[in-house]
Amino acid sequence: MIAAGEVSGDMYGGALIRALREQFPERALDIRGMGGNAMEAEGVKLLHHTDALGAMGIFEVLAKLRYFKQVMKDMVELAETWRPDVLITLDYYSFNIALAEKVKALGVKTVHYISPKVWVWRSGRINRMAKAYDLLLCIFPFEPKLYEPVGLKAYYVGHPLVEQAEATKAEPAPRLPWYGTDQIALLPGSRMGEIRSILPTFLKAARRIEMVKHGDCSFIIPVPTPKLRLEVERLLLKHPCPRHLSVIDGNARHVMRQAKAAMIASGTATLEACLMNCPAVLAYRVSFLTEMVARLVLPKASFRFAGLVNIIAEKSVMPELLQRNFNVFNTASHLLPYLRNTIARQDILKAYAEVQDALGAPGATERAAKAIAELLH
């Protein structure tokens, strides 16, 4: 049984399923649960799809609370009636920890892949994780030590994006609809709410850059699912766009690899930009009510940055434009220097190399599959 609630978790889950099949070459794996297109392509029978599961912000989640309760009910009923050998949850902490607690109470082994970032946010989660899971697969080398005091079996396997980035670099470069001297990627997120909040500002910033470059530039928006593509295209009809703008299905890493720079919503894609050596500006915006609640909570947090690249580097590598700081002028102003061989471009690429070293070697998915196989044996 497997549970992923976002596009990134679905992507990791699809790769993990392939690796698990290699661990059990003479066994047929029956896999059911919740996820997205990548997991469905690997034969997972989905009860719920990531297109409906994504929500950003406290009040946005509350608005879908009835739906999330139904998803939880369906997943627990699946575990009760089907009795899986193991539940594997991927990221998506708040939902998946509650699911794991309920499923483990049924006597099912539980595994979590992609440890929640307890080292920067709410260290109290460690005790709850220890009770909910039999095995935790960590993507940063310093994480297993954090769980030693509570006795949770935690293995460092490495970051799965590293091997995926290497695979992308080994593939032939696809022909993409670029135009002009400067190519810029726009990645407004993988949730409906993110796209609606972030894409209009990206489009205005793109038009500003187009004006500065006298039209000698182009923009590509790679979308992860057909449903999100429809939402992007709907927004493009409502907002003025740069002249040379294309929307393509998938291929986000190839787009970033070929682009000179990118505008990216905070999330996994920012780390992909680092691995693809694409200088980027990070942006994010939530509702006013969510921001007010966050302001009450943030003083208790120990992190200084929102983006994964900056958190790993422990310094400001990728410019972070959050809430009111995320506007057309700031976005364009931070991105334009990356289109030339400036000190800003050289500095971010140098910092990217340091982050890549910290992420370690490829092979995370295979190591994760081996650890799960050992637990099952």
Instruction: State how far the Cα of 356 lies from the Cα of 366, in Å rounded to an integer.
Output: 19
Do 325 and 206 lie in one domain? The reply is yes
For 187-231, give the DSSP string. Answer: E--SSHHHHHHHHHHHHHHHHHHHHHTTT-EEEEEEESSHHHHHH
Q: Which of 371, 369, 376, 375 is nearest to 20 (CA)?
A: 369
List the structure tokens of 233: 């295209």
Do 310 and 209 lie in one domain? The reply is yes
Look at residue 170 and tell me if it is in a domain: no
CB 241 within 8 A of CB 221: no
Look at residue 173 and tell me if it is in a domain: no
Do 150 and 293 lie in one domain? The reply is no
Do 154 and 82 lie in one domain? The reply is yes
Look at residue 103 and tell me if it is in a domain: yes
Instruction: Kindly report the pTM of this predicted structure.
Output: 0.78
Dump pLDDT digits (tens) for 243-290: 999 999 989 999 999 999 999 998 889 999 999 999 999 998 866 565
The whole domain housing 128 covers 2-158+361-376
Dump pLDDT digits (tens) for 188-219: 998 888 899 999 999 999 999 999 999 999 99
Look at residue 174 and tell me if it is in a domain: no
CB 276 within 8 A of CB 165: yes
User: Which residues, 6+ apart, have CB-to-CB distance to 349 below 8 Å?
Assistant: 277, 279
Instruction: State how far the Cα of 73 lies from the Cα of 266, in Å rounded to an integer.
Output: 30
Do 212 and 264 lie in one domain? The reply is yes
Do 342 and 230 lie in one domain? The reply is yes
Residues of the chain with pLDDT under 70: 54-63, 117-123, 286-303
Q: What is the CATH number of the domain that holds 9?
A: 3.40.50.2000
For 76-128, give the DSSP string. Answer: HHHHHHH--SEEEEES-HHHHHHHHHHHHTTT-EEEEES---TTTS-TTHHHH
CB 24 within 8 A of CB 373: yes
CB 39 within 8 A of CB 53: no
Do 66 and 85 lie in one domain? The reply is yes
What pLDDT score was predicted for residue 116?
A: 73
Instruction: State how far the Cα of 165 lies from the Cα of 87, in Å rounded to an integer.
Output: 27
Instruction: State how far the Cα of 90 lies from the Cα of 2, in Å rounded to an integer.
Output: 8
Do 239 and 350 lie in one domain? The reply is yes
* DSSP run (H or E) holding 310: helix 308-313
Do 251 and 303 lie in one domain? The reply is yes
Look at residue 171 and tell me if it is in a domain: no
Look at residue 62 and tell me if it is in a domain: yes
Do 355 and 365 lie in one domain? The reply is no
Angle at 273 between CA 363 and CA 96, to 5 degrees: 60
Look at residue 124 and tell me if it is in a domain: yes
Which residue type is seen at 262?
A
Do 215 and 115 lie in one domain? The reply is no
Instruction: State how far the Cα of 245 lies from the Cα of 260, in Å rounded to an integer.
Output: 15
How many domains does the chain divide into?
Answer: 2
Do 342 and 371 lie in one domain? The reply is no
What pLDDT score was predicted for residue 142?
A: 81
What pLDDT score was predicted for residue 51?
A: 84
Look at residue 169 and tell me if it is in a domain: no
CB atoms within 10 A of CB 206: 27
Give the single-character DSSP code of 172: P
Instruction: State how far the Cα of 139 lies from the Cα of 72, in Å rounded to an integer.
Output: 26
Compute the Cα dihedral for 225, 62, 119, 306 and give only its sign. Answer: positive
